[in-house]
Amino acid sequence: MSGLTISALPALGGEVLPAWGAPEYTVADFSDTTWWLVLIKAVFIVLFLILSVIMALWVERRALGRMQTRLGPNVAGPLGLFQALADAGKMLFKEDIWTKRSDKFLYFLAPAIMAFTAFSVLAVIPFGPNVSMFGHSTPLQVTDMPVATLYILAITSLGLYGVVLGGWSARSTLPLYGAVRSSAQIISYELSMGMALVSVFLMAGSMSTSEIVASQGTIWWAFALAPAFVVYLISMVGEVNRLPFDLPEAEGELVAGHMTEYSSMKFGWYYLAEYINMLNVSAVATTMFLGGWHAPWPFSHIAPLNDGWWGMFWFIFKVWVLMFAMIWTRGTLLRFRYDQFMNLGWKGLIPIALVWIVLVSVMRGVQTWVSGSWLVLFAVMLAVVIVVAVIVYLVALPSDEADDEDEIDPDAPFDAFLGGYPTPPILGQTLPPSPRAGRAKVAVAAPGDSADESAPLIEENSNE
């Protein structure tokens, strides 16, 4: 296998440390790749994403059915495997309608932008090492570049235009609300996601995806950079609008968010892009933190299982582990309130990511003066993180006075917007009369029985 070999990482003092018996990994080598091999790999990625979405729909419905004590799809085909195909056929032949006031060009362009950006991310993700394909040595990757990770962040940001334009071009209230919510959500969580990846760039010394994968021959960054990995995992769920962060598509408030006025395959492109983006963020997490196509220990020390086409198996396996984790999260957690969700992003994830970047930068700078090993570096960083986490917890710990202030007095007059949010009545409180349009009727106590709560109520016309 040709290419740059990375079997060890620079130590604190600048010398090269052994990789503790880890196998040697190589950076992708495209010197023997031809244009038709690139075309074959591009077509494979498109087919892989479409088939993976079909499988993801079936897995999600079956898994959620088991978690919620029901069957899930079990009629269309064996074990309901053809249910996703039936749904796709329904969308293809469904009536294509749109609002009369919509901006037709942008209305049709928005789902196309969403789908195009979703299909473009995996172009720089390595599925495996260099393999022999039709007599040529080529990596299982369409292309790579020194700033491949920045390309991923840029192309996912462009997908936001598909959401915003879809909600705005429909000229309808609920889609516009959903588009505004989604844009604020994606921008907020892309910041924390991008900052979580910065520590990986610092440790790997590159933004090339194949070089980042090769740099994890000693230890996966999910373990060495655990706080960044946790921040990325939370951010990626918010990035793709999945429960508990699916506020742009809150059914009880916004119907389907920016997709409300879409039907037929225009809605299908949005639906497809959502699941492809789930695969995309899982693939990026696998590449940046979980060793990419590297086999997990102890399989990494078995040469036939850690090279060639086996790399694609391990990569897809890790992606599906993360996919199932998102499905499990959907079946377990409830939807956040929008202010809680934004507070988590701006007051929780972004500060943690910033602090972690500073710690990693300082420790990388210390390497130029202090000698040691990766174990010492990891222990020091872990100790610092624990101390910072304890301080943050103690500072954020609510006091008893704050708890007393939050208590509601049942004898107090009912306030439907206590604290600025719609609040239901508690035990002992009653809703005030709700006048209707025109002639409303209000329930009042019978004369002379105002002090008796059990007295019968009579109705009188509020306008008389």
* Distance (Å, whole) CA 456 – CA 464: 21
- CA-nearest of 263, 363, 373, 281 to 319 is 281
* Distance (Å, whole) CA 141 – CA 79: 34
pLDDT number for residue 321: 93
More confident residue, 386 or 146: 146
H helices present in 337-412, as ranges: 338-343, 350-366, 374-396, 400-406
> Which two structure tokens, joined as six digits, stand for 27?
């950076």
Whole-number mean pLDDT of the chain?
77
Q: What is the pLDDT of residues 224-235, one digit of tens each?
A: 888 899 999 998
432 alpha carbon, distance to own chain's centre: 42
Q: What is the pLDDT of residues 44-89, one digit of tens each?
A: 999 999 899 988 888 888 888 888 888 888 888 788 888 888 888 8
Q: What is the largest CA-CA distance in the chain?
A: 99
- CA-nearest of 424, 345, 366, 323 to 185 is 345
Output the DSSP codes for 219-254. Answer: S-HHHHTHHHHHHHHHHHHHHTT-TTS-GGG-HHHH
Asked if 179 and 113 count as a contact pair (C-beta separation under 8 A), the reply is no
Global pTM value: 0.74
pLDDT number for residue 368: 67
Q: Which residue has the tokens 């992708």?
A: 28
Q: How confident is the model at residue 190 (pLDDT cuts 50, 70, 90)?
A: confident
Asked if 136 and 289 count as a contact pair (C-beta separation under 8 A), the reply is no
pLDDT number for residue 158: 87
